[in-house]
């Protein structure tokens, strides 16, 4: 059980208190002005794992820092305010789930592996006759004769079992253990009906036509796109949501073969009917507009006989929108804390051991660190690890991609600005990222892409340990750890008058070179298996291994995009594999060009490579060559390719180059 203290009874404090109250294994306490002094006098702050300050009073904040446990996390008002929109969205989502569960007439109970209740819907409470909040209570304290602990212990399903509750109410219940995507036991749940009510329902619904009408009504009212075929793969039923996604009507589908809606790919209905096994996550293009979708299909088996299959179709554009929103939230979280440690850095080769050892030494100093290496070698991973191993690990870690922010706004983003500093400036001014990261760590990624003007500004920060906001005159002292990174040849840039020599010497006091993947091929096996496990978790796949031939092909490739490109290749291979395949073969890998002395890209015609894949391969190689010729300078590369810097970022990420 995590203990959480919320300082403040204002709206912000109450919002977080009500949210925490609904979470399992969380216990929240709200302090007002009267009880604050009592907690200080009695040293009660040490009992809490997390302290949320919703007031923002500097004096109170100082007291909280002094009296909290060293390992307790203190979250300030500004951070709570930043997360408030996400909190409200999460609360709304939880309300929708709770509303849905409470509208289900079946009783539903879920317990964790400690036999504590994690969820109980309204119907369950009414049948049991429980008035209090059951969340967190032991199941036997609520239902003394519950069989859920036995199901959890035996890990066996129990179907349609009778049970008489303490109030003499008889129920029919189904109990089963619950596992996560990694097949780990996480708890057990029970679904039950009042036996008397179940008998009445059975008597009222003996007419099969009425049952069919009910099922059709459910399917037609569903927001999920659904299609049903018979045992021969002939269309039986679709709903309006299906028509909305595919553009196909009942006239187009019903009575037609299951493949009628497929514009690219193989009918998943027919695969399921053949194998009598469900398939999840199949990607297809459907309808006349070639809509990209993900399909889950399950067989319909009645009394041991195959009667057909049912498919639920998800619009990929909606999934992409949700993914983008998730990435936005991750970016917010990423700016507030460092995620990775040295344990997350994979590699046992001598080259990587040396880099890791140097980074661990750097973590124990306050010197400026310069991470050097090609794109995709893991420079940001090292920056996270150095911060998390330093004495600043409980402070902020802020990453700044110097090449991704326009020159016109970079200075105000880094240094902040005063009220009225320029047209469109935020009223009251704004803190810069240097000030936000004070007492913590700031990671200046791609510092080699900075203009000479901004280089001079950074040099002054390193020399004076202070900043001045845009439009301001007052110097703000800094106590900050600066980690920088670049893939640019700084020595060459100095010769070409593109990088300041004095800044170079300031940055290069503690350089750490991260080797490219081609120089640590011994780590390939470990990296590939780590990535297979990661992609399995992300996409719900069950890939177990990679063939020796495929591994040999990976080791022969030069990997200009390094580890990031390797992850891209493994991800794409698994995504486009058949759902039933468990081993990555040579044929699953895209066309990896072997190292050659020729400067022009050569393609080897392979019958398993589509035109689209070949086109993408050429584009990737061409972009990489231009990128390399421009010393990995993104602005110059985009200019030569005649595309925007944003578009270049998209393509670098797509092809695993950067």
| pLDDT tens figures, 505-545 | 999 989 999 999 999 999 999 999 999 999 988 888 889 99
**599 pLDDT tier (thresholds 50, 70, 90):** very low
pLDDT at 24: 61
By the 8 A CB rule, do 476 and 461 touch? no
Domain boundary among 203, 232, 265: 203
Residue with tokens 């399921």: 272
Say whether both 483 and 435 belong to one domain.
yes
**CATH classification of the domain holding 134:** 3.30.450.20
CA distances from 396 to 63, 103, 225, 279, 282 (A): 20, 43, 44, 44, 41
pLDDT at 391: 93
pLDDT at 602: 44
Q: For residue 448, is pLDDT > 70?
A: yes
Say whether both 115 and 170 belong to one domain.
yes
pLDDT at 594: 42
Can you name the residues that pair with 50 across neighbouring β-strands? 4, 73
Say whether both 267 and 365 belong to one domain.
no
Say whether both 502 and 556 belong to one domain.
no
pLDDT at 71: 87
In a domain, 552, yes or no: yes
By the 8 A CB rule, do 310 and 227 touch? yes
**N-term to C-term CA, the chain:** 41
Q: Which of 73-77, 386-390, 573-577, 595-599 has the lowest mean pLDDT?
A: 595-599
DSSP 372: E
Average pLDDT over every residue of 287-299: 88
**CATH classification of the domain holding 80:** 3.40.50
**600 pLDDT tier (thresholds 50, 70, 90):** very low
Domain boundary among 485, 513, 541: 513
In a domain, 459, yes or no: yes
**324 pLDDT tier (thresholds 50, 70, 90):** low
**CATH classification of the domain holding 457:** 3.40.50.300
Say whether both 539 and 557 belong to one domain.
yes
Nearest to 482 by CA among 389, 407, 387: 387
**CATH classification of the domain holding 646:** 1.10.8.60
> What whole-number distance in Å separates Cα of residue 548 and Cα of residue 517?
19
382's CB contacts (< 8 A; 6+ apart) are 345, 355, 359, 371, 512, 514
Comparison of pLDDT for 331 and 445, the residue scoring more: 445
Say whether both 356 and 471 belong to one domain.
yes
Average pLDDT over every residue of 100-125: 88
pLDDT at 598: 34
pLDDT at 454: 92
**499 pLDDT tier (thresholds 50, 70, 90):** very high
Nearest to 521 by CA among 558, 488, 484, 485: 558
Average pLDDT over every residue of 128-150: 90
Q: For residue 597, is pLDDT > 70?
A: no
Q: Which of 141-150, 153-162, 169-178, 615-624 has the lowest mean pLDDT?
A: 615-624
Say whether both 262 and 352 belong to one domain.
no
Comparison of pLDDT for 584 and 40, the residue scoring more: 584
Convert the pLDDT of each residue in 352-381 to its tens digit: 999 999 999 999 999 999 999 999 999 999
Say whether both 93 and 116 belong to one domain.
no
pLDDT at 609: 61
**217 pLDDT tier (thresholds 50, 70, 90):** confident
In a domain, 324, yes or no: no
Convert the pLDDT of each residue in 160-216 to its tens digit: 899 999 898 999 999 999 988 888 898 999 999 888 887 776 665 555 556 667 777
Q: Which of 36-45, 161-170, 326-335 has the lowest mean pLDDT?
A: 326-335
Q: For residue 105, is pLDDT > 50?
A: yes
pLDDT at 75: 86
Q: Which of 106-120, 239-253, 371-385, 593-607 has the lowest mean pLDDT?
A: 593-607
pLDDT at 590: 66
In a domain, 327, yes or no: no
In a domain, 323, yes or no: no
DSSP 307: E
**298 pLDDT tier (thresholds 50, 70, 90):** very high
Sheet with 235-238: list strands edge to edge: 235-238, 225-230, 305-315, 291-302, 279-286, 262-264
Q: For residue 611, is pLDDT > 80?
A: no
pLDDT at 595: 39
Average pLDDT over every residue of 228-253: 90
Domain tally, the chain: 5
In a domain, 368, yes or no: yes
Residue 148 domain boundaries: 106-203
What proportion of the chain, given as a percentage, has pLDDT over 70?
A: 89
In a domain, 171, yes or no: yes
In a domain, 271, yes or no: yes
Say whether both 195 and 216 belong to one domain.
no
Residue with tokens 């009212």: 221
How high does pLDDT run on average in the chain? 85
Say whether both 234 and 366 belong to one domain.
no
Convert the pLDDT of each residue in 376-430 to its tens digit: 999 999 999 999 999 999 899 999 998 888 877 888 889 988 876 654 556 667 8
Specify the DSSP element, H or E, that contains 200: helix 195-204
pLDDT at 360: 95
CA distances from 350 to 342, 357, 370, 515, 520 (A): 16, 10, 20, 10, 8
DSSP 516: P
pLDDT at 596: 32
What proportion of the chain, given as a percentage, has pLDDT over 90?
A: 38
Domain boundary among 147, 168, 203: 203
Say whether both 17 and 58 belong to one domain.
yes
Q: For residue 20, is pLDDT > 90?
A: no
Say whether both 185 and 256 belong to one domain.
no
């Amino acid at each position: 059980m995590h203990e959480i203290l919320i300082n403040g009874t204002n709206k912000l404090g109450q919002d977080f208190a009500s949210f925490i109250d609904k979470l399992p294994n969380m216990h929240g306490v709200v302090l007002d002005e009267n009880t604050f002094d009592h907690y200080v006098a009695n040293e009660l702050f040490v009992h809490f794992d997390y302290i949320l300050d919703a007031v923002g009073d500097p004096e109170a904040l100082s007291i909280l820092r002094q009296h909290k446990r060293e390992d307790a996390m203190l979250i300030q008002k500004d951070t709570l305010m930043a997360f408030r929109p996400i909190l409200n969205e999460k609360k709304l989502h939880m309300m929708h789930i709770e509303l849905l569960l409470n509208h289900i007439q079946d009783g539903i109970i879920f317990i964790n592996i400690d036999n504590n209740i994690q969820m109980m819907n309204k119907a369950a409470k009414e049948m049991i006759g429980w008035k209090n909040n059951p969340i967190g209570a032991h199941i036997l304290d609520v239902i003394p004769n519950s069989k859920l602990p036995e199901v959890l212990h035996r890990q066996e399903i129990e179907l349609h079992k009778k049970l008489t509750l303490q109030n003499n109410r008889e129920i029919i219940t189904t109990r089963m253990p619950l596992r996560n995507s990694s097949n780990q036991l996480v708890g057990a749940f029970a679904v039950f009906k009042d036996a008397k009510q179940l008998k009445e329902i059975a008597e009222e619904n003996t007419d099969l036509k009425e049952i069919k009408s009910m099922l059709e009504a459910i399917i037609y009212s569903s927001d999920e796109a659904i299609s049903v075929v018979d045992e021969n793969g002939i269309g039986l039923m679709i709903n309006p949501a299906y028509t909305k996604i595919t553009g196909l009507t009942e006239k187009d589908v019903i009575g037609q073969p299951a493949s009628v809606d497929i514009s690219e790919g193989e009918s998943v209905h027919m695969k399921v009917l053949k194998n009598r096994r469900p398939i999840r996550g199949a990607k297809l293009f459907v309808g006349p507009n070639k809509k990209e979708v993900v399909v889950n299909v399950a067989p319909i088996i009645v009394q041991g006989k195959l009667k057909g299959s049912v498919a639920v179709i998800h619009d990929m554009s909606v999934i992409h929108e949700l993914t983008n929103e998730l990435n936005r939230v991750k970016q917010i979280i990423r700016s507030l804390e460092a995620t990775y440690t040295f344990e997350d850095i994979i590699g046992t080769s001598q080259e990587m051991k040396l880099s890791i050892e140097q980074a661990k030494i750097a973590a124990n100093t306050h010197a400026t660190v310069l991470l050097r290496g090609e794109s995709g070698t893991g420079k940001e991973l090292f920056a996270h690890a150095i911060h998390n191993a330093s004495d600043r690990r409980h402070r902020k870690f802020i990453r700044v991609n110097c090449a991704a922010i326009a020159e016109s706004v970079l200075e105000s983003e880094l240094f902040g600005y005063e009220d009225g500093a320029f047209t469109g400036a935020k009223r009251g001014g704004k803190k810069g990222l240097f000030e936000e990261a004070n007492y913590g760590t700031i990671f200046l990624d791609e510092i080699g892409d900075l203009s000479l003007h901004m280089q001079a500004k950074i040099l002054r920060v390193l020399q004076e340990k202070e900043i001045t906001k845009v439009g301001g005159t007052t110097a703000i002292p800094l106590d900050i750890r600066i980690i920088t990174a670049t893939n640019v040849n700084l020595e060459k840039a100095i010769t070409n008058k593109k990088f300041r020599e004095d800044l170079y010497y300031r940055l290069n006091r503690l350089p750490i070179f991260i080797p490219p993947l081609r120089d640590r091929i011994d780590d390939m096996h470990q990296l590939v298996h780590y990535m297979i496990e990661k992609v399995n978790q992300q996409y719900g796949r069950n890939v177990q291994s990679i063939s020796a031939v495929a591994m040999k092909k990976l080791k022969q490739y030069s990997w200009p995009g390094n580890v990031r490109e390797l992850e891209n290749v493994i991800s794409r291979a698994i995504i486009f594999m058949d759902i039933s395949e468990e081993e990555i073969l040579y044929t699953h890998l895209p066309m990896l060009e072997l190292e050659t002395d020729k400067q022009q890209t050569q393609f080897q015609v392979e019958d398993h490579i589509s035109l689209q894949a070949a086109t993408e391969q050429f584009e990737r190689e061409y972009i990489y060559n231009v990128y390399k010729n421009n010393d990995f300078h993104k602005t110059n590369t985009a200019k030569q390719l005649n595309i925007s810097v944003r578009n270049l970022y998209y393509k670098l990420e797509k092809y695993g180059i950067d």
